[in-house]
Structure 1
């Protein structure tokens, strides 16, 4: 189900003066869906409480001419866990999907996926975090209770059944969903998959309807990994390849080009 519930988003933002602060604050505070804005020039940090997608908030910030990187996501509740999946496939489909446990009963799913054909696409958590054969080795839908396939609002469904996301004419699906069965702590280490077609939510006559929703081939996938909550990500330089936060910002969000083809030599 779509949600209007707010979450807090922590961004690193390149700001050098008070006019930068005023520009960012003005761009955010006038937007419907934004409840609160905190800007710290010294830390180059912006914290936004909003019911918008993370992508929408980032676009508002970067519309002022300042680059931004999402560093953490959280809520007003005690930290119950957050995760991220970076999706990529054999084609041009790629994206980032974040999960935040808002409460013991509700999980927020916030994502942007590019390169899709316009229209609905099935989105599912799969049992295995195995990409050795790309998305084919992810296993079946995450279904710990052994139920049949259904829609996200059905009481009988796979836990991993997240329904459909809708790609616009530009091939981008930007979505913000809330789910009552998914728990972040249960899906870390599993995989998230977006499919080529629409999930029929188990309501059609096709033999695959109550198994997969007959949503077609798996276009892109990614392992669900634990991610930073608010103020937990202190990274400025990535230890794995030596690039800065901002150099990493200019790389593709997933797929080819994400990793540095020429890592710096070790200092001996």
Structure 2
């Protein structure tokens, strides 16, 4: 069982209730898919093979407190905030995190909302150019010049960026954890990741585009892959961009109306040079 370590901040308040903390840790460790849960340096460290969004829901339900993911993975990590980039009628938004595990495989962990129910292809693309939205991100990342395939295919029989399919439920949410043996985090930072409108046939179909993109259609959401913090690499709690603290940010949109409290518009500027500021809370 290949696991990832997650650093989960829990809003226990100024003083941690020991009874609540111990109960939370005990119940987390009893969950199938969670190998370990310990309290360390002000956060709960969870070792798991479950998707991070599922772990956050478990921590929230077991503790009765708000929880946010502060760090993902022990080694080099990356993240992409994906959206529909104004390309479509639907508003697709989500996050995909990438971790290079010590064992070698890459983990792609994500949660995406706004999709139509059913299967959707996920692919890493050549460039991080969003000047024309998802139309300018290039072809699938394919350094070996291979035909399109699936994540179970060997290196020479698939695009390196072919990550297969995710499945959205009736509410339009897809929660997933993909383990891949071809991609490496250091090769994809600065590129982009996209989710397509349809199912990827993994290069096994009869359509003329099967060996190109799995006949999965055009991207409905995409985002640039950027370097992100691993566990205990980011001790800061306020966004320098707008001064929103991590607990408030959890329940606010990424940008625009409702993001910042209007009566405190200069908080980010006032806090900008303190040790508690970080460039962007969500990454």
Asked if these proteins are the same fold (TM beyond 0.5), I'd say yes
Asked which structure has the greater RCO (Cα within 8 Å, sep 6+), the reply is 1
Aligned partner of 2:101 in structure 1 is 102
Pair 1:32–1:104, CA change in 2 (3 A): closer
Residue 105 of structure 1 contacts residue 181 of structure 1 at CA under 8 Å; is this kept in 2? no
**Is 1:7 aligned to 2:4, yes or no?**
yes
Aligned partner of 1:135 in structure 2 is 134
Matches within 5 A, 1:251-262: 251-252=252-253, 254=254, 260=260
Q: Note the C-alpha offset of 1:132.
A: 1.4
Aligned partner of 2:265 in structure 1 is 264
Match of 1:85, SS state, is strand
Q: Distance in 2 between matches of 1:6 and 1:202?
A: 29
Q: Distance in 2 between matches of 1:133 and 1:33?
A: 40
Q: Note the C-alpha offset of 1:27.
A: 2.9
Out of 60, 81, 86, which is 2:81 matched to? 86
Greater helix share, 1 or 2? 2
Match of 2:239, SS state, is coil
Provide runs of 4+ in structure 1 moved above 4 Å: 254-263
Alignment coverage as a number of residue pairs: 257
Match of 1:210, SS state, is helix
Aligned partner of 1:22 in structure 2 is 22
**Is 1:170 aligned to 2:171, yes or no?**
yes
Residue 94 of structure 1 contacts residue 255 of structure 1 at CA under 8 Å; is this kept in 2? no
Aligned partner of 1:210 in structure 2 is 211
Aligned partner of 2:241 in structure 1 is 240
Aligned partner of 2:274 in structure 1 is none
Aligned partner of 1:49 in structure 2 is 47
Q: TM-score when scaled to structure 1? A: 0.90
Q: Distance in 2 between matches of 1:29 and 1:180?
A: 28
Q: Note the C-alpha offset of 1:260.
A: 4.5
Out of 43, 55, 58, which is 2:56 matched to? 58
Q: TM-score when scaled to structure 2? A: 0.85
Residue 95 of structure 2 contacts residue 110 of structure 2 at CA under 8 Å; is this kept in 1? yes
Point out where structure 1 has 5 or more consecutive residues left out of the alignment.
none
